[in-house]
């Protein structure tokens, strides 16, 4: 709108300028009239130019979909990464880019743009392959020594949200597939937007990428934001009884491609890696997520009461959390320690929690 208005002003400016009479003796205006016309022309021209500048500035601001807010080194079970936090300008959601190595010239970077899946990534749901894909991407990028995993939040259930996704699960248990379930609920099959992810990659200096995905449409989508996808790298995970219908639906109805025949050895190799990861880091992270969702903040503990919990054995190293839950009418009969490996990277953090925050690393009962 602003841009169209500014163009109109410039046209008026040009018309007025062209309508100023020539300096022939028969048409020469009086000095006074000429000065007035000249001033109006200059004024309109200035306003038009200013409007163009402002509209272009607004366009530039609108194109800024996310801003970088912080970054820190994060050691993981796969290796050390730098985590960059980006905040979306439209909804305030915070997204993260896990960067391995130096981006350098930004050419041929191995990239995974991963949609948030709480049930798969955190709780290890067997209905989908999301968690396995995320782990495989981290593992392959670590082996490559350079790459990026962009983790986009707000994409739960291909954009329909957690609550709707669970409703869709019920319909799938009744015989509908993942596409039909969304349609039955009156929801889009896939409403994800990758524009923020594309801008994050560009901000990091990525120019051309080898995209880790089974969805060719994602390659096309990222190209639309000025990124060149030079290769699609399949992300092949185990097919199980629980996820095989879901994967088949994505293949037949959503155009996903699974080049299983050429990657059997890789899938078998990754099965052992994923099994170990689930039994160590991932299992511990699940417990942490459960605790965070059920005891942090007034109202969260009502989830436990709503589920019918009366007395509980609380998995925590923080005795204050036990006292906090008691204040809401829940009886904590035992504190169960959550003991994890102490490493060079986390030992100072754990020692600080013990000495300054009262955390206890050992068994303890409350009676």
Query: What Å distances lie between residue 39 and 24, 33, 34, 47, CA to CA?
Result: 21, 10, 9, 12
Distance of alpha carbon 313 from its chain centroid, rounded? 34
Domain ranges for the chain, please list them.
Answer: 2-63, 66-155+192-288, 297-365
State the angle between helix axes of 216-223 and 195-203 in degrees (0 to 180), rounded to the nearest 10: 60
Instruction: Give the separation between CA 99 and CA 114, rounded to whole angstroms.
Output: 13
Task: Return the pLDDT at 4.
Answer: 47
Please say whether the dihedral angle defined by the alpha carbons of residues 282, 283, 289 and 292, taken in this order, is positive or negative: negative
Residue of higher predicted confidence among 225 and 326: 225
From the list 239, 208, 241, 217, the residue with the least C-alpha distance to 105 is 208
Look up residue 280 and give its DSSP letter: I
Residue 33's contacts (CB-CB under 8 Å, 6 or more residues apart) are: none
192 is catalytic: yes
* Residue in 190, 210, 232, 278 annotated catalytic: 190
What CATH number has the domain spanning 66-155+192-288? 3.40.50.10990
Q: Supply the pTM of this predicted model.
A: 0.61
Rounded-to-10 torsion of CA 132, 137, 143, 147: -160
Task: Return the pLDDT at 140.
Answer: 96
Residue of higher predicted confidence among 143 and 304: 143
Using one digit for the tens of pLDDT, what is the confidence trace for 48-77?
A: 444 433 433 333 444 688 999 999 999 999
Using one digit for the tens of pLDDT, what is the confidence trace for 34-53?
A: 555 455 444 444 444 444 33
Structure tokens at 361: 């690393």
| Max mean pLDDT range (23-37, 76-90, 184-198, 349-363) | 76-90
Instruction: Give the separation between CA 247 and CA 21, rounded to whole angstroms.
Output: 74
Instruction: Give the separation between CA 317 and CA 350, rounded to whole angstroms.
Output: 10
Are 331 and 310 within 8 A, CB to CB? Answer: yes
Query: What Å distances lie between residue 366 and 296, 308, 319, 354, 355, CA to CA?
Result: 21, 22, 9, 19, 21
251 is catalytic: no
Are 334 and 313 within 8 A, CB to CB? Answer: yes
């Amino acid at each position: 709108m602003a841009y169209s208005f500014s163009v109109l002003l410039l046209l008026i400016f040009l018309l007025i300028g062209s309508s100023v009479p020539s300096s022939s003796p028969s048409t020469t205006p009086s000095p006074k009239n000429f000065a007035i016309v000249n001033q109006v022309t200059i004024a309109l021209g200035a306003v038009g130019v200013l409007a163009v500048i402002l509209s272009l500035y607004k366009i530039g601001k609108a194109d800024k979909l996310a801003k970088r807010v912080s970054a820190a080194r994060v050691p993981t079970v796969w290796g050390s990464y730098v985590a960059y936090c980006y905040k979306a300008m439209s909804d305030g959601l915070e997204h993260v880019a896990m960067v391995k190595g130096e981006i350098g010239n930004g050419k041929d970077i191995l990239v995974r743009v991963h949609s948030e899946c709480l049930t798969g990534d955190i709780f290890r749901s067997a209905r989908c392959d999301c968690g396995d894909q995320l782990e495989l991407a981290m593992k392959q990028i670590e082996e490559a020594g350079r790459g990026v995993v962009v983790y986009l939040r707000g994409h739960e259930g291909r954009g329909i949200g957690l609550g709707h996704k669970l409703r869709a699960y019920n319909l799938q248990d009744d015989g509908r597939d993942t596409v039909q379930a969304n349609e039955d609920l009156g929801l889009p099959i896939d409403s994800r937007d990758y524009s923020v992810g594309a801008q994050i990659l560009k901000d990091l200096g990525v120019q051309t990428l080898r995209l880790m995905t089974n969805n060719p449409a994602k390659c096309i989508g990222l190209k639309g934001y000025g990124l060149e996808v030079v290769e699609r790298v399949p992300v092949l995970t185990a097919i199980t009884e629980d996820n095989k219908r879901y994967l088949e639906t994505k293949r037949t109805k959503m155009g996903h491609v699974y080049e299983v025949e050429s990657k059997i050895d890789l899938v078998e190799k990754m099965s052992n890696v994923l099994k170990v990861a689930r039994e160590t880091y991932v299992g511990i992270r699940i417990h942490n997520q459960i605790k965070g969702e059920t005891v942090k903040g007034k109202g969260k503990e009502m989830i436990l009461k709503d589920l019918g919990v009366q007395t509980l054995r609380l998995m925590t190293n923080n005795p204050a959390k036990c006292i906090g839950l008691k204040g809401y009418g829940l009886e904590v009969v035992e504190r169960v320690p959550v003991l994890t490996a102490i490493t060079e990277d986390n030992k100072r953090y754990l020692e600080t929690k013990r000495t300054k925050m009262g955390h206890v690393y050992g068994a303890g009962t409350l009676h």
